[in-house]
Copies of this chain bind each other. A is one copy, B any other.
């Protein structure tokens, strides 16, 4: 692998680990047992990519390469063990989680573009890869998904995915397009958390 590929691969594993650990913490006050935590962590960290691969009819990424599953499992166990002996602030995982979101968005969109998916479909695949895991996590914990009311989580992902689609339409080199789109996701998400940006909330007149 070229150094850049190694870096991207490493960031991907770090993103999986962050989402798994965040999954363990968010389910903290549900009194799940150890196995329940592991399932929530696996669903949170691998769910988005699994749905993307099943929809696109590709081989599921963590079946092809076991490293992702091992990483998610170890991160979940570590978070479980640590949270029993010390106070882990949920904020600890927000930065790696945001980096993971940016990376998953880029990889999901590129995977769909590589299969000649139409542009809107390709951008949605980026969002699914980035945000679906969090939806499954909250459904398993019997909560209304946070993604639906949070600080531009999926919106940041969608903006970046659409940008990436546009850049590849104009034949910008893959590496640069990915870097730019990923940075945009990261910048929007971090700014939204910092400044409390929100999407308009829906309230139907009934």
Interface centre among A36, A57, A120, A144 (most CB of B within 10 A): A36
Q: Considering the chains assembled together, what is the distance between the CA atoms of A119 and B42 in angstroms?
A: 16
Within the oligomer, what is the number of copies of this chain?
A: 3
Chain A residues numbered 39-77 whose CB sits less than 8 Å from any CB in chain B: 39-40, 42, 50, 54-57, 59-60, 62-63, 66, 69-70, 73
Inside 8 A of A190's CB, which chain B residues have their CB? none
Q: Which residues does chain B contribute within 8 Å of A140, judged by CB atoms? A: 135, 139, 144-145, 148
Chain A at the B interface: mostly helix, strand, loop or mixed?
Answer: helix
| A196 on interface, CB distance cutoff 8 Å | no
State whether A33 and B202 are in contact (beta carbons under 8 Å apart), knowing that A54-B55, A56-B63, A140-B145 are contacts in the complex. yes
Contacts of A87 in B (CB 8 A): 205-206
| Total interface residues in chain A, CB < 8 Å | 66
The interface bits of chain A over 108-125 (1 if a CB of B lies within 8 angstroms of the residue's CB, else 0) are 000000000111110010
Let me know if A118 and B66 touch, CB within 8 A.
yes
With contacts A120-B66, A140-B139 taken as known, whether A202 is within 8 angstroms of B37 at the C-beta atoms is yes
Asked if A175 CB lies within 8 Å of chain B CBs, one says no
| Pair A31/B154 contact, Cβ less than 8 Å | no
State the 7 A-B residue pairs at the shortest beta-carbon distance, nearest first.
A36-B148, A28-B204, A33-B199, A66-B118, A32-B148, A83-B204, A34-B199
Interface, chain A (partner B; CB < 8 A): 24-25, 27-37, 39-40, 42, 50, 54-57, 59-60, 62-63, 66, 69-70, 73, 80, 83-84, 86-88, 90, 117-121, 124, 135, 139-145, 147-150, 154-155, 158, 198-206
